[in-house]
Amino acid sequence: MEKVRWGFIGAGSIAKKALYPALMNSQVGEIYAVASRSAELAKSLAPSGRIYTSYDDLLADENVEAIYISLPNSLHIPWSIKAMQAGKHVLCEKPVGMNADEVRSAIAVQKETGMLFTEASWNRWHPRTIRLKEIVASGVLGNIKSIRTAFTYDGLDDGNIRTAPELGGGGLYDLGPYSVAAPLWLLDFAPHKDITSKVTWHPLGSDETVVVKFTIGTAQAEAMTSMNTPLTLYFDVVGEKGSVSTGGNDAFNSHNSASTLEITIDGKTSIENFAACDPYQLMADSFSRKIRGGDAWLMPLSESLAFAQFFDEIFATLK
């Protein structure tokens, strides 16, 4: 299969740490061009490819087939729309939009253009994540009674764009697509209600720490995100007949490291082991194969819209 030619819009830390190595190791995709306001940054991610200091110039390059967008959150939808209108497939960093209306506008363009458009929630491609979903869906745990999730980190300086609300900063947009969204997809988007939230605001105005509680299906869910709490990650699911939890402190960020699931059913506990893998590459390769007409799973846009709607509901409780 001819490798898909990728163009990057944005050359910051997430692009360098995530999709750059994923595509450098890929057999189905390659970095063809990078656009950044800094030519030096662009060159660091495209040592043998084309570099642009204008995003529009990259979109005008007819050889670019797929676009990876890793700009500040507030720019995700505008550049995703421009890219699709330019005839490019788009893999956009999460959150794909700042609210549900933005996501709907991009979905409308996707339908008009026929381009692929996917939110880069890379954890969803991890084999452990897929297996956890399989276990819950199988019914071996019985009706799910509780779901607890968390993704936090600390040490964020005030100059980081994640602290700037005007750029879409804040813990909920940054980490919510992992921990807060997880109960929704885990339970197949069962009806939810009774959302309550507690927030600690960053001095610059973004949401620093958010704890969300809600009912989904038969389960009581509690999800936490924070930009000022020591690194804490967990994903615990308890049912009538048993439970399943991610082992270790890596529930949503296991990347090139071995990982585990701890499963207890009718009082008997077992551990499932997962080899080290790069979920970013699994995601990018699936996207590339889909472009070439292959059979590959991509996270549906309907899920991205559901997440955006849910975040809108949560933000409404924070005001």
pLDDT lower than 70: segments of the chain: none
Which pLDDT tens digit goes with each residue over 187-223? 999 999 999 999 999 999 999 999 999 999 999 999 9
Q: Are residues 31 and 158 in the same domain?
A: no
Q: Are residues 143 and 176 in the same domain?
A: yes
Is position 248 within any domain? yes
pLDDT of 107 reads 98
Q: Where are the alpha helices (DSSP H) in the chain?
A: 13-14, 20-24, 39-45, 55-59, 76-85, 100-113, 127-138, 171-175, 182-186, 279-291, 301-318
* Domain around 202: 127-276
pLDDT of 158 reads 80
CA atoms within 13 A of residue 132's CA, in its CB half-sphere: 31
Instruction: Please indicate whether residue 268 is annotated as part of the active site.
Output: no
**Radius of gyration of the chain, Cα coordinates, nearest whole angstrom:** 19
Catalytic residue among 82, 88, 94, 290: 94
Domain count, the chain: 2
Is position 307 within any domain? no
pLDDT of 304 reads 98
pLDDT of 49 reads 84
Parallel, antiparallel, or unpaired: how do β-strands 192-201 and 242-246 relate? unpaired
The pTM for the full model equals 0.96
Q: Are residues 27 and 114 in the same domain?
A: yes
pLDDT of 56 reads 98
- 117 has which bridge partners? 90
